[in-house]
Amino acid sequence: MSIVASERSLKNLLKGQSKLSKSPLKRLNQLRSSAVNQINTLKFPTKNDEEWRFTDISPLTKTSFQPLRVMSPLQNSDIEHFYLTETVTRLVFINGIYAPHLSVQITKKSKNSGVVVSNLATASSKDLTAIKSHLGYYTEIKDNIFAALNTAFLNEGALIMVPKDILVEAPIHLLFITTQKETSNHPRCLLVAEPGSNVTVIEDYVTLQEDTYITNTVAEFVIADSAHVNHIRIQRDSKKAFHMANCSVSLARASRYQSVSVAFGARISRYNLNVLLKGEGAECTADGLALISNRQLADTHACIDHIKPHCISHQLHKCIIDDSAHAVFNGKIIVRQDAQLTNSNQSNRNLLLTPKAIIDTKPQLEIFADDVKCSHGATIGQLDNEEIFYLKSRGLSEITARNLLTYAFGAEIIERIPIASLKLRLEQAVHEQTQRD
């Protein structure tokens, strides 16, 4: 990618940023201004950059993307097939714009009335004051062009605040829908879980048509002492689209973060997950599945940083790669000097369905403490011939046996999603995508 192409693409993606109205939250305006200044010092990463050496995003610079500021005419009947029966609270964003007529928020009469689930741009002054010490403090923009772009357009977004010792029984559904081609969307999510609280959040990216666009997201999760957050992230963008995402998680003492991330869509996708175990006894579980085909590229970079002692982390990331698709996994576990008695394990398992399928995997440990229990590993392979032979001996055809084993490989991750209707839909999607003639 040439410097000229990079600069031209950045200028194009920044179009419309100056037209954003000022926010009553001074912190938000400062973040925007700082991000624009940072962007002027950055360029798009290339394969010459170590963190991007397996991921070529030059196709992104060949299309013009601009934000859309017109409210969508969509109605409930157009998108209700994305709704989940278990959710009673839902925020819907169409092409990056909040759609109040499609959203369902917590009412004052609800037993969860202390919980805040709202659009960031229309949040109350009280809520804005409460989040000013959190917004933008967890996702670094210094060397991250996509996080900087998202922050430059920071305006609308999902804001979730769960008060102390509150259990939110029904999951909260954040539904981001793209309907227009050649648009740029910059979804933002901030979740603050106060001590002892418990909440499940579904971050869901979908499309209504197969077009080219870019979705560029940032999520920040702040989890206080003894709080528990269950985070399900589903990426089902157009297979012609670009999806760039950053998620930053801060864990305090004895808190828990459980995550399942599933990626089906996008021509090129990149997901950066950064978890800081900042409090003693914190626990993190991060599971993922990338199911890609044709010429898709799915890149997952994860960093789980153990800062305090007695913390636990588990990570299992799986990739099913068909045709000429390309998957990338870079998983880093850091154990700081003071993080004694850490227990951490990481595994990356990859299934290649064709000789042209590609995986680049790099699980790594950086340990600076001497009393820890840590392990990591990666496997790359094709379907087991002995397992195929066994299923054939039970009366299945070879194609059926292969399809069943491929489905089972991916379904292990889907099974970890605690929401029945969503799990069923994803199981069906995995089943459809793993069927071969």
pLDDT tens-digit readout, 143-159? 999 999 999 999 899 99
Q: Are residues 269 and 393 in the same domain?
A: no
Average pLDDT, the chain: 91
Q: Which of 279, 303, 330 is the last residue of a domain?
A: 279
pTM for the whole thing? 0.94
pLDDT at 1: 52
Report the C-alpha gap between 37 and 33 in whole angstroms: 6
Domain count, the chain: 2
Q: Are residues 397 and 253 in the same domain?
A: no
pLDDT at 168: 95
Q: Are residues 262 and 397 in the same domain?
A: no
> Does 14 map to a domain?
yes
Lowest mean pLDDT among 196-205, 312-321, 357-366, 401-410: 401-410
Range of the domain at 55: 3-279
> Does 346 map to a domain?
no
What per-residue string of b and e applies to 58-90 under the rule 16 or more CB within 10 Å gives b?
Answer: eebbeeebebbeeebebeeeebeebbbebbbbb
Q: Are residues 236 and 119 in the same domain?
A: yes
Q: Which residue has the higher pLDDT, 276 or 59?
A: 276
> Does 292 map to a domain?
no
Q: Are residues 266 and 398 in the same domain?
A: no
pLDDT tens-digit readout, 348-401? 999 999 999 999 999 999 999 999 999 999 999 998 888 888 888 888 888 888
Q: Are residues 255 and 391 in the same domain?
A: no
> Does 351 map to a domain?
no
pLDDT tens-digit readout, 76-97? 999 999 999 999 999 999 999 9
Confidence of residue 320 (pLDDT cuts 50, 70, 90): very high
> Does 336 map to a domain?
no
> Does 343 map to a domain?
no
> Does 421 map to a domain?
yes
Q: Which helix (H) or strand (E) covers residue 427, if one does?
A: helix 420-433
Q: Are residues 245 and 390 in the same domain?
A: no
Report the candidate in 375, 319, 388 with the shortest Cα–Cα distance to residue 345: 375
Q: Which of 279, 308, 340 is the last residue of a domain?
A: 279
Q: Which of 279, 310, 327 is the last residue of a domain?
A: 279
> Does 272 map to a domain?
yes
Lowest mean pLDDT among 24-28, 256-260, 296-300: 24-28
Position of tokens 């048509």? 209
Over residues 72-76, mean pLDDT: 88
pLDDT at 18: 73
Report the candidate in 252, 201, 203, 205 with the shortest Cα–Cα distance to residue 230: 201
Q: Are residues 30 and 146 in the same domain?
A: yes
Give a three-class secondary structure readout of 314-334: EEEEEEEECCCCEEEEEEEEE
pLDDT tens-digit readout, 264-311? 999 999 999 999 999 999 999 999 999 999 999 999 999 999 999 999
